[in-house]
Amino acid sequence: MQTIKFKNKPYLSNGYSIVGPLEGKGPLKDYFDYILKDDTLKEKTFEKSERKLLQDIIVGAIDKAGLRTGDIDFFFGGDLLNQIVSSSYTARELELPFIGLYSACATMAEALALAGIFVDNGLAKNVVAGTCTHFSSAERQYRFPLELGNQRPPTAQWTITGGGASIVSNTPSNVRLVAATFGRVTDFGVSDVNNMGAAMAPAACDTIIEHLKNMGRSPRDYDMIATGDLGKLGSEIFIDLMEHEKIVLGKNYCDCGCMIYDKTERVFMGGSGAGCSASVFNGYILSKLKKGEFKRVLLVSTGALMSTTTSQQGDTIPGIAHAVEFEYVDKSTAKKEVKGD
Contact 316, 189 (CB under 8 A): yes
Stretch that binds another protein, among 57-65, 83-91, 111-119, 190-198 (CB under 8 A): 190-198
- How far is the C-alpha of 211 from the C-alpha of 305, rounded, in Å? 21
Contact 156, 269 (CB under 8 A): yes
Which of 81, 101, 198, 200 touches another protein (CB under 8 A)?
198
- How far is the C-alpha of 272 from the C-alpha of 274, rounded, in Å? 7
Which of 70, 153, 220, 291 touches another protein (CB under 8 A)?
153
Helix (H) or strand (E) holding 13: strand 11-19
Q: What is the DSSP string of 192-243?
A: -TT-HHHHHHHHHHHHHHHHHHHHT--GGG-SEEEESS-HHHHHHHHHHHHH
Give the residue from 165, 178, 68 showing the smallest Cα distance to 125: 68
- The site string for another protein over 119-138 (x = CB under 8 A, - otherwise) reads ----------------xx--
Report the DSSP beta bridge partners of residue 3.
181
Stretch that binds another protein, among 71-79, 103-111, 166-174, 188-196 (CB under 8 A): 188-196
Closest separation between CB of residue 22 and another protein, Å? 6
Stretch that binds another protein, among 39-47, 123-131, 216-224, 281-289 (CB under 8 A): 39-47
Of 192 and 221, the one with the shorter C-beta distance to another protein is 192
Q: Are strands 98-100 and 253-255 parallel, antiparallel or unpaired?
A: unpaired
Which residues are within 8 A (CB) of 248 and not within 5 positions of it... i.e. 6 or more apart? 219, 242
Which of 158, 281, 284, 294 touches another protein (CB under 8 A)?
158
Of 27 and 154, the one with the shorter C-beta distance to another protein is 154
Backbone dihedral angles phi then psi of residue 241, each to the nearest 5 degrees? -65, -40
| Three-state secondary structure call for residue 329 | coil
Q: Are strands 319-328 and 296-304 parallel, antiparallel or unpaired?
A: antiparallel
Interaction of residue 155 with another protein, rule CB under 8 A: yes
Question: Binders of another protein: how many residues, by CB under 8 A?
Answer: 42
Interaction of residue 27 with another protein, rule CB under 8 A: no
List the interface residues with another protein, window 49-88 (CB under 8 A).
Answer: none
Which of 147, 263, 309, 332 touches another protein (CB under 8 A)?
147
Closest separation between CB of residue 66 and another protein, Å? 34
Stretch that binds another protein, among 176-184, 193-201, 248-256, 278-286 (CB under 8 A): 193-201
Which of 61, 106, 111, 237 touches another protein (CB under 8 A)?
237
Helix (H) or strand (E) holding 299: strand 296-304
CA dihedral sign, ordered 281, 286, 287, 288: positive
Which of 149, 250, 314, 340 touches another protein (CB under 8 A)?
149
- How far is the C-alpha of 205 from the C-alpha of 135, rounded, in Å? 27
Give the residue from 228, 18, 7, 207 showing the smallest Cα distance to 107: 228
Interaction of residue 34 with another protein, rule CB under 8 A: no
Interaction of residue 45 with another protein, rule CB under 8 A: yes
List the interface residues with another protein, window 282-321 (CB under 8 A).
Answer: 316
- How far is the C-alpha of 173 from the C-alpha of 182, rounded, in Å? 25
Of 22 and 35, the one with the shorter C-beta distance to another protein is 22
Interaction of residue 190 with another protein, rule CB under 8 A: yes
List the interface residues with another protein, window 200-219 (CB under 8 A).
Answer: 202
Of 36 and 129, the one with the shorter C-beta distance to another protein is 36
Q: Please give the residue ranges that form the binding site for another protein (CB under 8 A).
A: 22, 39-40, 44-46, 135-136, 139-140, 144-155, 158, 161, 187-190, 192, 194-195, 198, 202, 233, 236-237, 240, 265-268, 316
